[in-house]
Amino acid sequence: MIARIFPSVPQSITVFIFWLLMAEDASPGTLALAAFLAWLMPQIAARLEREFARIGEARILLPLAAKLLRDVVVANVTVARQVLGPEDRLKPGFIWVPLELTNIHGISALTSVITLTPGTVTAELSADRRHLLVHCLHVEDSEQMIREIKQRYEAPLRRVFP
């Protein structure tokens, strides 16, 4: 019975508390609205189609994090050289990276990794989730960049998020 009224008690409590914190008021009207939202939001969320994260080989995350840390340091130096150098040498551009990852959590992790690396920013995910648009500060060989992203980041993430 309680599960039908409150599909997620923790979510209801969270909504109630956050509403009170945002309102900065504990008047009867604010409490009533917080209670209403605490009931309504989990009702809506329960009807949404969700894709849950399935974790495969979690041990891959540590070497991936080490690789990412190294790549961030190297990319910072590279971007600093490019930005401080002659502007006409930069060749910014967009590349479409075809994805083999299908899990939305894996795709989100990939977009985060790409955006964390200086010189690249994830710009868009295609509607069918099969391509990722990436803006690069400097693109000499787009095919090489695509291969690098797929090999260095997507391949390990495919093992983590099967």
pLDDT tens digits, 38-76: 888 888 887 776 667 778 888 988 999 999 999 999 999
DSSP code at position 82: H
Q: Residue 143 carries which DSSP code?
A: H
pTM for the predicted model, two decimal places: 0.69
How far is residue 94 from each of residues 23, 32, 124, measured CA to CA in Å? 42, 49, 10
CA end-to-end span of the chain, whole Å?
Answer: 36
Query: Per-residue pLDDT for 35 more than 80?
Result: yes
